[in-house]
Structure formats: structure tokens, C-alpha cells
Structure 1
Amino acid sequence: MLKYLRKALSIGLLALAGGAHAEITEDYKVILLTENFPPFNMAIDEKNFARDENIDGISADLTRAIFKRAGIGYNLSLRFPWDRIYRLTLDKPNYGLFSTTYTEERKPLFKWVGPLAKSEWVLLAAPGSSIKLNSLKEAAKYTIGAYKNDAVSQHLEAQGMTPINSLRDQENVAKLMSGKIDLWATTDPVGRYIAKQEGASGLQVALRFNSAELYLALNKETPDEVVERLQKALDELRAEGYVDEITNSYL
């Protein structure tokens, strides 16, 4: 009896080991989602929906190269708003989202590949503003606009602040220029890029309060093999100088 129990246990362990290292099928694909977040990812025609070759930017070009190097299929689309595609990636297996800011709060929610790029978190004031800050605590008395479910907005909320969240970050430019908000919480260089697109210039940095890394966030049910192959591909491309080459071509 003991002999048969040992044999059954051995077979069970082999099955588990096989499952842990099972290869993904040839038709496996990751459904990649992104948004207009220039210069990291953006629609060529600046609209809020685009597919595949109609999307460019630092992270978009790099992500394509990573998947090609890793030999993993994907479908890529740019959609709006961020809040929707963020929740889709949280909920649906085989979904991925970039450029996603890596934070401790988000760490357990996804599987991660990166970093793809870096950015800084800033509070921007209107041209001619006299607002100068030394800390986020000092900013609490001002009206702050932010982008809903963006990492910057989530960080401010975690600090007990109540930013006025918009579904489109572009809306914050108009609000700032018209005085509806005192400060715009965004990332650099994204904020400056968006402001230029909206015809605004001369915005002032009232405070730089964090630096962040941008990643590809994958649904937690993504096979570990996929994550490992993608990370290995990124590491190889970085070592070959490709990441710097792509970044410099946009900045």
C-alpha cells in the first residue's frame, strides 16, 4: 500500500511541476492597452482610439520590441479613459497595460515588467503664479486638479488630500489657465507635452515631489513564463542600448 501511495505522490508532484513550467501555446496573445500619455504612448492622429501601427511613443515602441524579442503575440489598442482600461487590466486574464506607474500600493495588484521609462511627479502652476512650495503639506490649502486613477492622483489621496479628478488630463490645462484650479498634479515631461498641445505655455513648477518608474502591468493571472520572457527581453534590449536609443529619439 505504501508503495502505491509513494507512486501516486510522485506522479502528483510531477504533474504539479509540469503545470508550473508548462509552455504557453503558439496562439497565446496578450491584449495590450494603453492611453494618450505622450511622449510615452500616444495615437498618431491624437485621437482617443487607435490600434497597432497607429500608436507610437517611447513605451509603445519599446513594448513592441520586447514582445517581438520574447516571441509572444499581442494585440495593441489605445483607448480612453485611463480609469476604464486600468480596471479592465485588473479584472481580465491576459490583459496588459502601459505606461503604468509602479507604486507600492499597486505592487500586489499586477505582475510587472520594467522599468520602461522614468518620470517625475510635479505640481504645476499657471504662468505668473506666485505659488512656491516646499512640501505636499503646504499644497493642501490649494485647489489641485489631477487625472482620475492616475498614480499621482492616487498618491495625493493616500496623503489625505482631495484632488479634483478629471477623466481627461487635458481638462486640467484649461482649468489651470482659467483659475478653476490653483495647481495641476501631473508627471513631467507629460504635463509639459499636453500643455503645449492645448496651446498653453509658461507653466511653472511649484513643486517636484516624487520620481517614478513606468512599467508594463499585467493581469495577475498572466503565466509566470510570459512575465519572465518579457522581462528577459527588456533586460537584453537595455543592455544592447536599444532603450536609450528609443528614448532619445523622442526627447
Structure 2
Amino acid sequence: MKRILVAGLLLLVAASAKAALPDDYRVVMLTENFPPFNMAADGKNYAADRNVSGINADIVREMFKRADIDYSLTLRFPWERIYNQVLEKPDQGLFSTTYTPEREPLFKWVGPLASTGWVLLAPPGSPLRLSSLDQARQYRIGAYQDDAVSQHLESNGFEPINSLRDQANIGKLLKGHIDLWATTDPVGPYLAKQEGVNGLVTALRFNDAQLFLALNKQTPDDVVARLQKALDEMRGDGSIDAIMRRYL
């Protein structure tokens, strides 16, 4: 009898936790073109719902499904705009967002969704190899405006030549307008391959990072907990590995 009472109590607690959210509650999810993690099916700078694909897009969809939380998903451009929007508006979220200590107090976090590395890429055939980020100060470095990689460089005294699109750095690098491209691996090489460019040289790998879902600070803690629980279950049952195999 005691076990039955305990089980019943747990069910009531779980039911009340879900009931804490209004019936019309919805999280507005925003993302950008950041292949292979999130991207528009047609490669354009706007897409919605099923027209958004990628490793993390598929992970986020399944996560919300398991957590039984309604959402909308929109891919927009540029990153700076949607980043600031999620900072300001309740019940909005942003992925794939690189977790950094500087960003930690700005959002509520669910993750990690995936792991990446930060790299400085040189043109194909370049002999340039660096052993530290400090050695890169003498070079012109292209980066993606307001991306975590660019923010990291700026916080360390660099003045990267920022572009509104990360893809723009591919042409700048090949034309000699920049010496190095600061980007994320595997995103940078993936973008280059889509442009028909192979063989970019990794002059330096200077940081390993993790990609998260960043939620506005006013997001209810219950929503954060349910999403994190769903993600942990996906990692444990092999769902995330299966999703990654579809793209890599």
C-alpha cells in the first residue's frame, strides 16, 4: 500500500509540474545557417519549421517532443539580430550557441548539444603552422561578427576583420584579403566544401567548445529542467549518435 501511495504521489507531482505551464505556452526557437548543425534546406537566410535541418535542429525537435513542450522554429539572419532578440524577449531560445563563461549569466542553458573546436584556417598549401594564439597577432584574421570565436579574439586584444556571413571569409582567404580565417570546426571546412573549396590548412586549433540551446533568462525553470532531462535521455539511448550519423 505504501508503494502505491508513493507512486501516486510521484504521478501527481509530475502532473502538477506540467500543469504549471499555460495550455498555450510556446517557446520561440531561433537559429541561423551554421551547417552541419543547423541550416536552411534551400541554403537561404530564412526558413521555418521543417525547412530547417541539421544535427542540432533534429536534436532540438526531438528534445521538445519528449519534453512535451510546444515550440516554433525559425532560421534567420544575421546572428547578431537573433542573439539580441533572445536576450530581450521572454520564452525565446537560440541554438547552436557556444557556451562561454562570459555568456553564462546571460541565458538559461540546455546542453551540450554538440562539441566543436575553434581553428585558424590558412589557404590550401600554406606552410603556416602556429603553436599559440599569441603568434597569430601579426596576421590579418577574418571572423564572423558577434560569433563566439570573434568575441573570444576581441576579448584577447585582437581586431578581427568581421563579416556578416562566415562564408564571406572563404573568398577573402583565397584572394589574400585575410591571412587566416577564425572559425569553428567542422563548420568552416563544411562551408568551404559547399563552395567547392577543399584542403584548407589548420594553422592552429586553439579552443574546444560546446554548443548549447540558450534560453531567455525569464524562461521557467521547469521548462529548462524538462528539456535537459529529455536531452540526457537521448544521449543515453543513442538517439543523438543516430542523428549525427545522418549528417557526418
TM (normalized to structure 1)? Answer: 0.91
2:213 to 213, 216, 224: 216
2:67 maps to which residue?
70
Deviation at 1:22, TM superposition (A): 7.5
1:236 to 230, 233, 236: 233
Deviation at 1:201, TM superposition (A): 1.5
Listed as ranges, the matches of 1:154-173 within 5 Å are 154-173=151-170
1:93 is matched by which residue type in structure 2?
A: P
1:178 to 169, 175, 178: 175
Does the residue aligned with 1:98 lie in a helix, a strand or coil? Answer: strand
1:78 is matched by which residue type in structure 2?
A: L
Structure 1: 4+ residue segments shifted above 6 A: none
1:107 to 104, 107, 111: 104
Identical amino acids, percent of aligned pairs: 66
2:132 maps to which residue?
135
Listed as ranges, the matches of 1:27-106 within 5 Å are 27-106=24-103
Q: Which runs of 5+ in 2 are unaligned?
A: 1-16
1:248 maps to which residue?
245
Which digits, 9 at most, give the CA deviation of each residue in 1:206-243, with x for residues without a partner? 00001110000000010111101100110111111101
1:168 is matched by which residue type in structure 2?
A: R
Deviation at 1:107, TM superposition (A): 0.3
2:223 maps to which residue?
226
Which digits, 9 at most, give the CA deviation of each residue in 1:166-207, with x for residues without a partner? 110010000000000000000011000111112212110000
TM (normalized to structure 2)? Answer: 0.92
Deviation at 1:23, TM superposition (A): 0.7
1:205 to 202, 206, 220: 202
Q: CA separation in 2, counterparts of 1:193 and 1:22? A: 43
Does the residue aligned with 1:200 lie in a helix, a strand or coil? Answer: coil
Deviation at 1:131, TM superposition (A): 1.5
Q: CA separation in 1, counterparts of 2:127 and 2:18? A: 59
Q: CA separation in 1, counterparts of 2:18 and 2:34? A: 36
Does the residue aligned with 1:140 lie in a helix, a strand or coil? Answer: helix
Deviation at 1:130, TM superposition (A): 2.3
Structure of larger gyration radius: 1
Does the residue aligned with 1:115 lie in a helix, a strand or coil? Answer: strand
Deviation at 1:21, TM superposition (A): 9.8
How many residues align? The count is 232
